[in-house]
Amino acid sequence: MITNTSLEYKGDLYPSKIVSYEHEGDSIFFNTDNKVILKVTILRDSLIRFRFTTKGYFSNDFSYAIDKTQLHGYNFLELTEQETYFEIRTSKVKCKIQKADLRLSIYDLNDFLILEDELGFHWEESYEYGGNIVKMSKFSKDGECYYGLGDKATQMNLKGKRVENFATDQYAYQKDQEPLYKVVPFYIGLHNKQSYGIFFDNTFRTFFDFCQERRNITSFWAEGGEMNYYFIYGPQMQDVVTTYTDLTGKPELPPLWVLGYHQCKWSYYPESKVKEITSKFRELKIPCDAIYLDIDYMDGFRCFTWNKNYFPDPKKMVTELAEDGFKTVVIIDPGIKIDKDYWVYKEALEKDYFCKRADGPYMKGKVWPGECNFPDYTNPAVREWWAGLFKELVSEIGVKGVWNDMNEPAVMEVPNKTFPMDVRHFYEGNPCSHRKAHNIYGTQMARATYHGVKRFTYPKRPFVITRSAYSGAQRYTSSWTGDNVATWEHLWIANIQVQRMSISGMGFTGSDIGGFAEQPTGELYARWIQLGVFHPFCRTHSSGDHGNQEPWAFDEEVITITRKFVSLRYQLLPYLYTMFWQYIEEGVPMLKPLVYYDQDDTQTHYRNDEFIFGNQILVCPILEPNAVGRRMYIPRGEWYSYWTNELFIGGREIWIDTKFDEIPVFVKAGAIIPKYPVQQYVGELEFDELTLDVYYKNGKEQSAVYEDAQDGYDYKKGRYSYLSLRNIGKEKELIIQLHKEGKYTTPYTKYKINLIGLPFKVTEIEIDNEKIEFDKVSFELNNFLIVDKEFNELHIVGE
């Protein structure tokens, strides 16, 4: 019988008053009389880490999310003590910490209140598991909006939502369903034209409540671990996203072919079926760079094996596919079949590399091969072993990419769809249960896969894609949004998910075009293709249980639309490659929701559909059947219709007429858009001309084109070409200025310049201050000219 009521129910506990503090370098420690310690670390003037412990000391400081190669540093740090609070000041913000209870508030240097604790940090002891359930609550300001959190199938603005982060295999998930495959505990707050970010780096199951439970309170909590979060100050959303992406890391550049179109199905087999599919793409002139092999290519679903009945000579097949421009990508899952004659299983067993239950036996669960054991990817030795397994697939057979699936980890025929929580993990020398390791399991598998593919692909670049991920996974892998459904609602979901992933640090993401589960109509498939070609990762994928989903599975009109839009993607490859360069160099997301693009315009705060592709192309998908147009919001500025070149003034919602073979696409006035000729696969053609679509603007606009050898690592040695383009428009003249950086020489020698929207008739052309006869630059009356690429300034004068 329990007689001590404080043990019978303790409830929430809170820090008490500060009794001492220490300032050590970039960190300040505040100690309370009930053993709570708050450690405040100034990483940058706009990036502050808050870490709490309730036991009087901190455990080992380790995170899988943080990119340890990033260098941080601040310009100014000052700590002052006032009567009721301590104040920490940097060159960007001020943080006040109350002496009575550690509650904190953060201001800009003009004393504008950005973020303020309500209850602040508090906790509840977990008697079932030990440790604490850690909690944080903050006030929400009037009109405050919330964005981010990665893979969420809900409205872009999270105000009024509660979400859960626990990587889960959610086959055929629906709108607003929680949780999903990925865990990105990072959100962006916006109020009064000021943006900030919170990254709650805790790998346990976490929750975020954006004013759902209590109208003016935002809270986040975890079922274990520490209250450990980073505050990121903007004030622009661009600054918040870039800082977060720097903190958790950026990927390396993919080979250009990865940005092409990919075709996948569960499953293409035998070999004759694979070649039938690839041949049909070439016959119909629909560009495609990659073909995927799902689990049926394996011998009894055993990873790193081949079913020789279906694929008698894998190396020969992969070589022949490559000769036709197709790169082969294969699936690899974490479940290793329990089979004493299976070499991968025997090696892992001998090395003791499988995850174990708390009392010693190996974790056993049913996946596609039947009963399986699962490698512990939180052990560096296991990751090194796993990486080595890719030698035959990549270096001998010639596979170009690897697709990690089922790595939430997913387990069949169990209620919670995953490992029991008592499973143990090495966790980089910080042993823990699956409660802590679950959300990072998929990322560590992708990490091991990445190092293996990279080792055996070198000197070319690797390609890895994963279904499950935690913050920081973008350093190793691309991703897709999981097992979606062939419905119009899921087309809407896919549009939002990829935008949200892009501003959550994981820009290289796409959806299963057409839907994985069930069967799309031709109209739905066409509309999905029209959206998917504007996503960083572009792949059709479907379940074999629900019919065929290749472009020719529908009618001739759908084939034509697919060819048109996939060809457009291939034309825009230099633009897309430049987007990726800016992502890896500066942390700039490749897709930008309208609120990211113009947070000061309150009309953007609740927009879901429209997004900016790169920096200068506006896209709005058609999300309903039988549409002959739609209403959409054009952001502030001037925008040309891509299809008609008609000029629109933004800052308003308007009706746009569309056809079945179009969606609303606009180009920012002043933009210079680079284009390649249409190729059936990357590298098919040698061409001597880069097209530049130049959109007139009365004013100035910057554009860029990044190019390199399209694969390999010479770009890291300076062998790239970064072309800065400045477009200066005046009433009767247009000036294009070029500045090139890098040591790479592009193979073409000319620019074909399309002049769009010129308000005058061209009468004179100067190149580098020298007047040029029209015939010497192949000037045509429909306003395009072909010029040698070696110039610095092109001056076009009119009347």
Residues in contact with 528: Cβ distance below 8 Å, sequence separation at least 6, in sequence order: 491, 494, 511, 513, 514, 515, 520
3-class secondary structure, 618: strand
In terms of C-beta density within 10 A (0-12 exposed, 13-18 middle, 19 or more buried), how is residue 80 classed? Answer: exposed
3-state secondary structure labels for all residues of 545-587:
HHCCCCHHHCCHHHHHHHHHHHHHHHHCHHHHHHHHHHHHHHC
Token digits for 569? 């993607």
* Nearest in space to 347 (alpha carbons), one of 297, 381, 311: 381
Distance, CA of 504 to CA of 668 (rounded, Å): 25
Token digits for 446? 């992708």
Query: Which single residue is written with the structure tokens 């007689």?
Result: 3
Per DSSP, the residues of 38-80 read EEEEEEETTEEEEEEESSSSPPP---SSS-TT-----S--EEE
Cα radius of gyration rounded to whole Å, the chain: 27
Find out whether 635 and 652 touch, Cβ atoms under 8 Å: no
Token digits for 571? 């034309």
Q: Which residues pair with 94 in a beta bridge?
A: 89, 107
Helices and strands, counts by H and E, the chain: 12, 51
**DSSP 8-state assignment for residue 391:** I
∠520-523-527 over CA atoms, to 5°? Answer: 95
Strands 793-798 and 762-767, bridge-based pairing? antiparallel
**Active site amino acids:** 405, 408, 483
Find out whether 404 and 467 touch, Cβ atoms under 8 Å: yes
Element (H, E) at 209: strand 206-210
Residues in contact with 728: Cβ distance below 8 Å, sequence separation at least 6, in sequence order: 699, 700, 734, 735, 736, 737
Q: How many other C-beta atoms lie within 10 A of the C-beta of residue 540?
A: 25
* Nearest in space to 258 (alpha carbons), one of 483, 31, 461: 461
* Nearest in space to 576 (alpha carbons), one of 238, 150, 253, 240: 253
Q: How far is CA 379 from CA 384, 436, 440, 448, in A?
A: 9, 14, 12, 10
